[in-house]
């Protein structure tokens, strides 16, 4: 698709969905996400095995993991559990954390960014200094500290990721809100005697929705990756609950003899994160007003 | 200039003060009791109380923090609870290895990222552009432990080109720095591409072509220095990503840097070490941003000091 074509199509007023649909990569991403969602939701019906049952016939006579076969499509792990089953259940962990953690961090980021941008002054300054402070922490290291302080469970891991991830959203929404707050229509509203909540919810927030959607979509891939890394390091989701990160951690001792044990879950992580990145990038190009007219 | 520097330095110092307060508060609230760890399971309550008093852990929060801060100013990060060594010396012994790793990573990431970005910008819209951009997306979508294990499997186990892990020669450095660099290369290539496209549109590039300069000369002498400016600011942010990344990469490759130290400390709940590494990382990030700011000031005369 050439630039000129895009511009004329846009000026004819194509809907956001139409513009989104033209991006093949984004559609590929959507398909991958749908597959992951489908696998996660219908996991119990898709596989005859239980994710945590160590099967009698799941290990070779020497006690090593079994290679992929008709019985175990992706082979078995070091404890004789079906790998495909664990990957399917691991998708639940990844998606739950991806959505919950990202949702919470989006809410925190929006609250901080919008409050600071709209009220400025002392509160705004304080909130933005806090944001600067958070920027000085390496996100992964802080998450590791937090996760090892609290006994990690699915929800704790989600909250830890939310706590270290809101900063970017807050900064973007802060600058957007502070420029909106100086526009004439907001001044007009104030003159008419509108209350702060009314201005915030009826006039400022609707302008920020595209930005929030963009950062929300892009953030899911960050949270999925962070969860996988924390679980890999042992401070995320704890075994026996399956998570793609801890599947790799558990099986890496067999890495040389049975590389598929690391390869398949890795592929799952990369594909899901890639899918959200592709969709997020397309959403950004379609919705971000500052990028309109570019390619 | 001096004004700008003093103000930025003051800001940095304030941020570091805040960082120390937050790390201290976090670890103060730690439910895992370090005293129990040192004393062992069979210790009497009297022994536990003695150790607690010895370490000053029975004092109120403010007193403990103040004592900690005073020590910090003398570069004293306290003693490791379990290793009975000065944290400062533990960390400083490992900093060179981590710096070496990061230097390797920055080098790889600039070479890969900039090359990909420039090639994509020059052949914009082509199959090569598309495949390079998909590659950069895959790069930013792969967690570092996955990249590390994959590189290990292909280049160390199967091809036997590089050692599986360890430290010492240049060959040891290649795989860990590549692992650390993949993520950044993805971002750099995307930024470089859009920045390059922007620059190539400018009038002075057309003028340079019109003067009859060779394509290569226009690219390297006229376009590149302008296109690279936004990248300089990114290197500061990169330090932050590296500081987290080294924990993963150093534990995958057994690289004896501060990431591995932090990792071992976290498993043993060795508070002073965790706090020390977090503070050192925060310092590195603050310094990285400061340096990036100053560097872009020198690199781009158009930037006005505010």
Q: What is the pLDDT of residues A28-77, one digit of tens each?
A: 889 999 998 988 888 788 877 777 777 777 677 776 777 777 777 777 77
A232 pLDDT higher than 70: yes
Band of the pLDDT at A274, cuts 50, 70, 90? very high
Contact across the interface for A274 and B141, Cβ inside 8 Å: yes
* Per-chain mean pLDDT for chain B: 82
Chain B: residue nearest A226 by CA? B143
- The answer to whether the beta carbons of residues B57 and B39 sit under 8 Å apart is no
User: Is this prediction's pTM over 0.90?
Assistant: no
**Confidence category of residue A187, pLDDT binned at 50, 70, 90:** confident
Q: State the average pLDDT over residues B250-260.
A: 88
Q: How far apart are the first and last CA of chain B?
A: 10
Rounded Cα distance, B180 and B104, in Å = 9
Using CA coordinates, name the residue in chain A closest to B237. Answer: A135
pLDDT of amino acid A6: 47
pLDDT tens-digit map of B115-131? 999 888 888 888 888 88
Mutation target for A interface from B15, B141, B238: give the one with most A CBs within 10 A.
Answer: B141
Instruction: Determine the Cα–Cα distance for residues A71 and A251; give it in Å rounded to an integer.
Output: 20
Give CA separation, B42 vs B36, B39, B48, B57, in Å.
9, 8, 10, 20
Q: Which residues of B touch A232 (CB under 8 A)?
A: 143, 145, 248
Is the distance from CB of B187 to CB of B113 less than 8 angstroms? Answer: yes
CB contact under 8 Å between A262 and B149, yes or no, is yes
Q: Which residue of B has its CA nearest to A132?
A: B15
Candidate from A137, A139, A256 with C-beta closest to B157: A256
Structure confidence at residue B31 as a pLDDT band (50, 70, 90): low
Confidence of residue B60 (pLDDT cuts 50, 70, 90): confident
* pLDDT > 80? residue A289: no
Query: Are B251 and A233 in contact, with CB atoms under 8 Å apart?
Result: yes
The mean per-residue pLDDT over the stretch A122-130 comes to 86
Indicate the DSSP class of residue A252. Answer: G
Q: Identify all chain B residues contacting A223, using CB atoms and an 8 Å cutoff.
A: none
Q: Does B277 touch chain A (CB under 8 A)?
A: yes
pLDDT band (50, 70, 90) for residue A110: very high
Higher per-residue confidence, B207 vs A22: B207
Q: A–B: how many Cβ contacts below 8 A?
A: 125
Instruction: Say yes or no for a CB contact (<8 Å) between B240 and A135.
Output: yes
Interface confidence: ipTM more than 0.90? no
In this prediction, residue A294 carries a pLDDT of 46
Judging contacts by C-beta atoms under 8 Å, the chain B residues touching residue A234 are: 267
Structural contact between residues A40 and A95, judged by C-beta atoms closer than 8 angstroms: yes
């Amino acid at each position: 698709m050439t630039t000129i074509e895009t511009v004329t199509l846009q000026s004819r007023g194509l809907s956001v969905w139409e513009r989104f649909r033209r991006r093949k990569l984004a559609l590929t991403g959507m398909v991958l996400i749908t597959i992951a969602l489908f696998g996660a939701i219908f996991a119990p019906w898709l596989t005859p095995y239980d994710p945590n049952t160590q099967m009698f016939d799941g290990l070779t006579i020497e006690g090593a993991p079994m290679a992929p076969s008709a019985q175990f499509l992706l082979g078995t792990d070091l404890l004789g559990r079906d790998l495909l089953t664990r990957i399917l259940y691991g998708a639940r962990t990844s998606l739950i954390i991806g959505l919950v953690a990202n949702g919470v961090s989006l809410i925190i980021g929006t609250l901080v960014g919008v409050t600071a941008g709209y009220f400025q002054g002392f509160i705004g300054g304080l909130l933005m200094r806090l944001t600067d402070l958070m920027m000085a922490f390496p996100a992964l290291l802080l998450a590791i500290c937090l996760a090892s302080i609290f006994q990690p469970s699915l929800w704790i891991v989600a909250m830890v990721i939310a706590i270290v991830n809101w900063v970017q959203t807050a900064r973007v929404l802060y600058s957007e809100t502070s420029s909106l707050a100086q526009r004439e229509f907001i001044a007009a509203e104030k003159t008419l005697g509108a209350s702060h909540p009314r201005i915030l919810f009826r006039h400022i927030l609707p302008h920020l929705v595209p930005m929030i959607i963009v950062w929300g979509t892009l953030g899911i891939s960050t949270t999925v990756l962070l969860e996988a890394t924390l679980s890999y390091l042992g401070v995320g989701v704890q075994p026996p609950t399956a998570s793609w990160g801890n599947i790799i951690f558990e099986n890496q001792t067999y890495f040389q003899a049975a590389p598929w044990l690391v390869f398949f879950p890795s592929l799952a992580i990369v594909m899901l994160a890639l899918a959200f990145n592709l969709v997020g990038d397309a959403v950004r190009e379609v919705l971000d007003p500052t990028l309109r007219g570019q390619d | 200039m001096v004004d700008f520097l003093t103000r930025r330095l003051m800001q940095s110092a304030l941020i570091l003060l805040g960082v120390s307060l937050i790390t201290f508060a976090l670890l103060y609230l730690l439910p895992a009791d370090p005293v129990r760890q040192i004393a062992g399971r069979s210790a009497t309550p009297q022994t536990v109380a003695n150790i607690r008093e010895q370490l000053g852990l029975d004092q109120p929060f403010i007193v403990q923090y103040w004592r900690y801060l005073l020590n910090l100013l003398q570069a004293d990060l306290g003693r490791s609870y379990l290793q009975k060594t000065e944290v400062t010396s533990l960390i400083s012994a490992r900093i060179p290895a981590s710096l070496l790793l990061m230097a390797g990573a920055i080098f790889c990431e600039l070479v890969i990222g900039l090359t990909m970005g420039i090639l994509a910008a020059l052949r914009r819209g082509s199959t090569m552009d598309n495949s390079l951009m998909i590659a950069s997306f895959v790069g930013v979508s792969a967690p570092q432990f996955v990249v590390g294990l994959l590189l290990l499997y292909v280049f160390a186990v199967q091809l036997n080109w590089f050692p599986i892990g360890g430290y010492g020669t240049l060959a040891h450095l290649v795989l860990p720095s590549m692992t650390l660099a993949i993520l950044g290369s993805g971002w750099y290539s995307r930024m470089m591409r859009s920045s390059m496209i922007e620059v190539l549109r400018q009038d002075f590039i057309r003028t340079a072509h019109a003067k009859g300069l060779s394509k290569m000369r226009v690219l390297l002498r006229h376009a590149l220095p302008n296109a690279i400016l936004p990248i300089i600011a990114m290197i500061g942010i990169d330090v932050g990503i590296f500081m987290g990344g080294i924990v993963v990469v150093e534990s995958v490759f057994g690289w004896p840097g501060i990431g591995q130290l932090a990792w071992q400390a976290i498993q043993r709940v060795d508070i002073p070490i965790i706090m020390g590494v977090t503070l050192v990382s925060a310092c590195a990030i603050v310094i990285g941003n400061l340096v990036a700011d100053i560097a872009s000031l020198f690199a781009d005369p158009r930037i006005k000091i505010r």
